[in-house]
Amino acid sequence: MERWTGIVADTDGASANVLRKALRKLRCDVVTAPSPEAIDVATTEHKTAVLLVAASLPGLDARRLCQQLHAAPGRSYYVISMLERHAAETVTAAFEAGADEVLRKPLIAAEVRARLEQAKRVLRLETLRTAVESEGAWLAEIAATRSIYSPRYLHGQLENEVARSQRFAHSLAVILADVHHDDARVVRKFGHLLSVQLRAHVDWAGHYGERRIALVLPETNLGGALRVAERLHERLSDGALASAGLPTGISAGFGISALGSGSAVNAQTLLDAAEGYLDDAFRKGPNQIAGGPAPRSPPRGK
C-alpha cells in the first residue's frame, strides 16, 4: 500500500492542523471530515484509511461508527480516538467503543507521528492478511498460527512499548501465561486461543520460552491486567479447549506485571517481574493468577 488515506474528523483547528502536517510527512492523502455525515462519505470513498476522530465531535456515536467500520467486508480502518481528558474512564470508554488507539489533547507532534506509523503498519498487515485469506482457508490457517510473535520480536517491540509508556506517562502491563504441556503445537494453539481474546490492533502476544506466552497490554494498569487474566482464565473451559483443538483438562498459570506512570525499568525487568509472579501463582497451585508492579520486590525473608 504505497499511498494511504488519513481522515481527519476534528473541528478543533489547531489539532486538525497538527494531524494534517503529520499525515503529509508520511506521504498520506488527507481527507477532512468535520461531521459524522462527512465521515460516512469519506469512509465510503476510501476502503483503507486511518480515521482520527475527536471524541467530542458533535453528533458522534463512537460505538456505532467503530462497529460499522470494523465490520465492513473488504475494508480496513484504523480508528484513533482523540480525547480532551486522558483519564482512566475516558480511555476505557474509547477502547470499549471500538477505538484501536487513543491520543490525548493537546496533541504532541512526536506522539502523533508514532501512532500514525503504528497505524500504517497495522493497515499494511491487514491488507496483506485479506489478500492471504482470499487464497483459501489453508493459508488463513497459516496466518493464524503466526499471530504469536517470536521471542526476538517480543523483546525488541516490548522495549519500544516500555519507552513509549515512560515517555508519555502511559500504563503498560504484561501477562505471562504458562500452559502445563510439553507439545509445541499445543503451546502454539494455547497462545492463539489467548490472543484472539485480546483487543485487536492494541494488545499483542509473543513466545517467551518453550511453553510460555507473553501478552502485552498497552494503556493497561495492574488492575486492568488482572481483570484481563481473570477473564482469560474463565474462558479456558473444557468446551473452549476442545473447540480450539486443545486437550481438555490442561492447566495454566498467569503472572502479571505492570508499569505505572514514571516507572524507570526496561523490558527485561518487566518480563522478569511477570516471571516472578508466575512462580508465585505456581506455588499457590494449578490454574492460579498472581501479579504486582515492576520491578518486583524480593520475597520476604530474602
User: pLDDT category, 215, cuts 50, 70, 90?
Assistant: very high
Cβ atoms of 6 and 12 within 8 Å: the answer is no
If one counts every other C-beta atom within 10 angstroms of the C-beta of residue 266, the result is 16
Q: Given the DSSP bridges, would you call strands 252-259 and 289-293 parallel, antiparallel or unpaired? A: parallel
Look at 103-107, 141-145, 166-170, 291-295 and tell me which has the smallest mean pLDDT.
141-145
Q: Does domain 148-293 fall into CATH 3.30.70.270? A: yes
Strand arrangement of the beta sheet that strand 101-104 belongs to: 28-32, 4-9, 48-54, 76-83, 101-104
Q: Compute the average pLDDT of residues 106-131.
A: 83
The second-level CATH assignment, the architecture, of 4-138 is 3-Layer(aba) Sandwich (3.40)
Q: Compute the average pLDDT of residues 38-52.
A: 93
Here the cell at position 133 is 485469506
For helices 109-134 and 13-25, give the axis angle rounded to 10 degrees: 60
- Burial of 240 by CB count in 10 Å (0-12 exposed, 13-18 middle, 19+ buried)? middle
Integer Cα distance of 286 and 4 in angstroms: 48
- Does 298 have pLDDT greater than 80? no
- Does 121 have pLDDT greater than 90? no
Q: Range(s) for CATH 3.40.50.2300 in the chain?
A: 4-138
Q: Range(s) for CATH 3.30.70.270 in the chain?
A: 148-293
